[in-house]
Amino acid sequence: MDRSVNLLDLALGLDEPSPLRGKVVLIEDCVETSGSFVLHQMMKRVLSPHSSDSLIFLAFARPFSHYDRVLRKLGCNLSTQKTNNRLVFVDMLMMKCSDNESGVAKLFREIQGTVGKLRSVTNSNITVMVDDMSLLEIAATNSNSDHVLDFLHYCHTLTSESNCSLVTLNHEDIYSSMERPAYLLQMVCLADIVIKAEPLASGLANDVHGQLTVVNKGMISSKSGKGSSRNKLQNFQFRIKENGIEYFYPGCSRN
């Protein structure tokens, strides 16, 4: 298996042991440049055969078959991981939240219960992924951004109480900045790491598909020992290939 560390891994601190434990990662994308590939890359890392981490995936956007197909090309078999209880796939397309705050509250309690069950059998890192937050708001009919923020807050408590990681994907260009300027900012403030996928300033290109900006805020270390670096911003470009992603700095030759 490929254990080489790429620029995204370095920006996330994945060259350190358990760097995302207890952290919140927010992936922001837009219409021009989808950030789903970042989610897929992180799924692959979590479910790597070299780790024993677990993944709880809340799928609002696409069915299981889509992710299975994508991850197979990256060398990861989701069906096998489901069987091994390393992957808990919650198909939100089939489920329906009730149309009030209790819908998201019930969803959180289910996630909390699943985390509890996994924690009883493993001490490894548990990652909760949500694809994506905007559809969570729609799924919980008549819900509003406050309920989504409440849900995020409660998921944040899982990162500290159960030492989980939380990874969410959100589309930053579907919210009018005049209507709800604080909604996106609330999510950014909650996150320890923000990954922004956007197109190149020069537009579309055949060999460069976009750029990633990774803001790693870190946090004051409440634990003794070494902590990851704080307040780092990195920017690099990427190219999506058939079986993986290439990351490189502008103007540098690619592998």
Partner 1 sequence: MADSIFRKLRDGGEEGELAPALTIEETVVSPFALDVSCYLLANLSSSILAGKSKSEGLVLVTFSRSPSFYLQFLKQRGIVVSSSSKWIRVLDCYTDPLGWIDQPSTGVTEGPSLVKLNKCVSDLKRLFSSVIDAGREMVGDGKTRFSVAIDSVNELLRHSSMPLVSGLLTDLRSHAQVSSLFWSLNTDLHQEKVTNALEYISTMKANLEPFCPSPDGKRNALENLFLAHQDFGKGRFHVRFKLRKGRVRVMSEEYHVDQTGINLSPISSAESVIAATKSLIPKASYLVHFNLQLSEKERVEKEKVVLPFEHQDHGKSTEIYDGRRTLADGKTEATPLSSGELQADVVSSGKGGEIIYFRDSDDEHPDSDEDPDDDLDI
Binding footprint of partner 1 on the chain (CB under 8 A)? 101, 105, 108-109, 112, 146, 149-150, 153-154, 157, 160-161, 172, 177, 181-182, 184-186, 188-189, 194, 196, 213, 215, 217-224, 226-235, 250-251
Token pair 């460069």 in the structure block, residue: 208
Token pair 């999506």 in the structure block, residue: 240
CB of 182 to partner 1, least distance (A): 5
Residues 137 and 99 sit within 8 Å (Cβ to Cβ)? no
CB of 59 to partner 1, least distance (A): 22
Q: Which is nearer to partner 1, 4 or 222 (CB)?
A: 222
Q: Which is nearer to partner 1, 98 or 186 (CB)?
A: 186
Q: Which is nearer to partner 1, 3 or 203 (CB)?
A: 203
HSE (side-chain half, CA atoms, 13 Å) at 21: 16
Phi first, then psi: give them for residue 173, nearest 5 degrees.
Answer: -105, 15
Closest CA to 32 of 174, 187, 204: 204
> DSSP assignment of 124-172, as one string?
S-EEEEEE-HHHHHHHBTT--HHHHHHHHHHHHHHHHHS--EEEEEEET
What is the rounded distance in angstroms from the CA atom of residue 211 to the CA atom of residue 197?
6
CB of 225 to partner 1, least distance (A): 10
Q: Which is nearer to partner 1, 48 or 114 (CB)?
A: 114
Closest CA to 164 of 129, 137, 195: 129
Q: Which is nearer to partner 1, 93 or 200 (CB)?
A: 200
Q: Which is nearer to partner 1, 71 or 195 (CB)?
A: 195
CB of 162 to partner 1, least distance (A): 11
Q: Which is nearer to partner 1, 120 or 231 (CB)?
A: 231
Torsion of CA 90, 29, 45, 246, to 10 degrees: 140
The conformation of residue 21, written as its DSSP 8-state character, comes to T
What is the rounded distance in angstroms from the CA atom of residue 189 to the CA atom of residue 182?
10
- For the beta carbon of residue 175, count every other beta carbon within 10 angstroms: 15
CB of 96 to partner 1, least distance (A): 19
CB of 241 to partner 1, least distance (A): 23
Q: Strand (E) positions, 102-143?
A: 126-131
CB of 43 to partner 1, least distance (A): 25
Residue 134: helix, strand or coil by DSSP?
A: helix
